[in-house]
Amino acid sequence: MSENMRSGRDRDTSADDVGSNLTRRSLFQRVGLAAAAATLAPGVEIGVASAGPPQTSEAESPGNSGKAISPVMTTLSTYMSEAADHALPAEVVEKAKHHILDTLAAMISGSDLLPGREAIKFVRTYGGEKVATVVASDVVCGPIEGALANGQLAHADETDDSHAPSQSHPGCAVIPAALAVGEQCGIGGEHFLRAVALGYDIGPRVTMTMGAQNYEGSTHRSTHSIVTIFGAAAAGGCAARLNPQQMRWLLDYTSQQSSGIAAWQRDTQHIEKAFAFGGMGARDGVTSALVVQSGWTGVDDIFSGADNFFLANAPWADPAGMIDKLGERYEVTRTNIKKWSVGSPIQAALDAIEDLRKGHPFDVDQVQKVTVRVATHEAAIVNNRDIADICLQHIVAVMLLDKTVSYRASLDESRMKDPAVLRERAKVELIPDEDLQKLMPLRVAIVDITLTDGTHLNKRIDAVRGTPENPMTREEVVAKARDLIAPVLGAATASNLIEKVLAIEGVKDVRELRPLLQRT
């Protein structure tokens, strides 16, 4: 790429573990429905106890506070501990494969960019036990460092997936964490896929429970960072087969580590942003999983009681949101895959221009003016930014000139000074729209194009391509992945990796992926 481009141990299944012999549905009938129906005020503990680790009662368990465990925590921790052994619906399996492939492709392509190069340089220098694959490199290191590096790679630019209801990018931390702990524990492909699906289920529910975008706006905390650490921890805990008690401690250590502020929006080189979105969450989530697996104990219910997570961060939140439709609504199916490798608020505008051109073909020299309306919060993120792929005016200008926005074109910082691009950029006006803000988390865009002959073209996009309302096909996901992987690892390796991921159930050990993920 041109320098001008921005550059475990098995879970014990004794009868003492709650739910060890229950089906997922019967488990929820036993404790989940009652918990979901209750309104849990922060600091109020409900007198329903669950079993602790094998052959140890709650009252006797190390680290136990002597207080009852809330129904929410009982349901959540048991669900998490059972996830590795429960089959997922076929449509969830297919969608999880799409997101695994899409995220691996983001990691591989990200290795040629500045945040990715810096991540690989860091782990190469830092060293560590040779356990975890660092994608698109020849480095094998410790699982915590490996998760950090791969998380940085996955969000080295704006290629990775996003989850609108939680305002986050789950895949860039969940999948690196599942891979790192999966390699540590030697898990199979089906187990890996279930760990990934669990990470998408748990991480987004945290900020959805707290208010997502409204939470970030009022507190200046980063929803992206909070989601990814909880998602990564859940994926890592599943890969390590932690039991219900251990899952409770995992959530405790994850709560203690949860951090991140919205200052990432001021980052101009995408390195800090990659850390806040992917690397930090992946690293800290894996840390939670591994310290608990090694024997660390902690607070049994960090979501209720004195000084609990929600009381500290969002005292208005109802912890029951953490188990809302858990086991029925899978968040990976509500996660977007980007057709365009640019910031999420720009996606709808590009869809609109593409659709307008199909209906009324025009050349760039016929364009007199382009007006783009997006939600006010979205406009602030992409308005005249210094980074090419999150600057709406620049990307729209590239779209007008190229009639598409390729991955490489979206990253070419040199074009931000190209007179031809600047000429088209001067035609683009971005308007923050309060009415569209009310529709968030839907990222709606309204594009008006005025041609030199007086023709007026208008298009509103309510469902961006790649969202659950307008999903990409398997073929589209594969085409995107091939476009990102082949230039780095070669066409043959790209084809083999795609085939392996789409048949991940047949992989006996995730370490089999290493030769297809690395370059020597």
Neighbours of 143 (CB within 10 A): 28
CATH of the domain at 433: 3.30.1330.120
pLDDT in tens, 58-77: 333 444 444 689 999 999 99
- Mean pLDDT across 36-51: 32
Same-domain status, 159 and 132: yes
Same domain, 184 and 315: yes
User: In the structure, what pLDDT confidence band is assigned to residue 50 with cuts at 50, 70 and 90?
Assistant: very low
Question: Is the residue at 518 inside a domain?
Answer: no
* Cα dihedral across residues 151, 154, 157, 162: positive or negative: negative
8-17, 315-324, 485-494 — which is least confidently predicted? Answer: 8-17
Contacts of 60 (CB under 8 A, 6+ apart): 52
- 374 and 308, same structural domain? no
Least confident of 15-29, 184-198, 238-252: 15-29
> Is the pLDDT at 27 greater than 50, yes or no?
no
Number of domains in the chain: 2
- Asked if residue 257 and residue 186 are part of one domain, the reply reads yes
Residue bearing tokens 């500045």: 114
Does residue 146 sit in the same domain as residue 203?
yes
The reply to whether 422 falls in a domain is yes
Total-model pTM = 0.84
Q: Which residues pair with 162 in a beta bridge?
A: 336
Name the band, by pLDDT with cuts 50, 70 and 90, for residue 357: very high
Residues in the chain: 520
Q: How far is CA 483 from CA 106, 416, 480, 499, in A?
A: 10, 23, 5, 15
Q: What is the pLDDT of residues 264-315, one digit of tens each?
A: 989 988 999 999 999 999 999 999 999 999 999 999 999 999 999 999 999 9
In the three-class reduction of DSSP (H, G, I as helix; E, B as strand; rest coil), residue 341 is classed as coil
Query: Is 268 exposed, middle or buried (CB count within 10 Å of its CB: 0-12, 13-18, 19+)?
Result: exposed
Q: Provide the pLDDT for residue 265.
A: 87
Q: Does one domain contain both 256 and 154? A: yes
Q: Are residues 269 and 330 in the same domain?
A: yes
Tens of pLDDT, residues 481-520: 999 999 999 999 999 999 999 999 999 999 999 999 999 7
Q: Is the pLDDT of residue 123 over 50?
A: yes
Residue 362 lies inside a defined structural domain of this protein: yes
Q: d(Cα 124, Cα 387) in Å, to the nearest integer? A: 27
Q: What is the mean pLDDT of the chain?
A: 89
CA distance 244 to 62: 14
With a pLDDT cut of 90, the percent of the chain lying above it is 82
The reply to whether 330 and 442 lie within a common domain is: no
Q: 375 and 304, same structural domain?
A: no
Is 232 in the same domain as 116? yes
In a domain, 398, yes or no: yes
Decide if 445 is inside a domain. yes
Whether 191 and 244 map to the same domain: the answer is yes
| DSSP sequence for 127-144 | ---TTEE-TTSS-EE-HH
For residue range 201-224, list pLDDT tens digits in order: 999 999 999 998 889 889 999 999
Q: Report d(CA 462, CA 436) in Å as an integer.
A: 10
Q: Exposed, middle or buried: residue 417 (CB in 10 Å: 0-12, 13-18, 19+)?
A: exposed
Task: Give the residue carrying structure tokens 């680790």.
Answer: 53
Instruction: Give the pLDDT of residue 67.
Output: 61
pLDDT digits 0-9 by tens, 381-398: 999 999 899 999 999 999
From 306, 334, 362, give the residue that closes a domain.
334
Claim to verify: residue 224 and residue 140 sit in the same structural domain: yes
Structural domain boundaries enclosing 378: 344-461
For residue 509, being part of any structural domain is answered with no
Tell me the per-residue pLDDT of 145-168, one tens digit each, with 9 for 90 and over. 999 999 999 999 999 999 999 999
List, for residues 237-269, the tens digit of each pLDDT value: 999 999 999 999 999 999 999 999 999 989 988
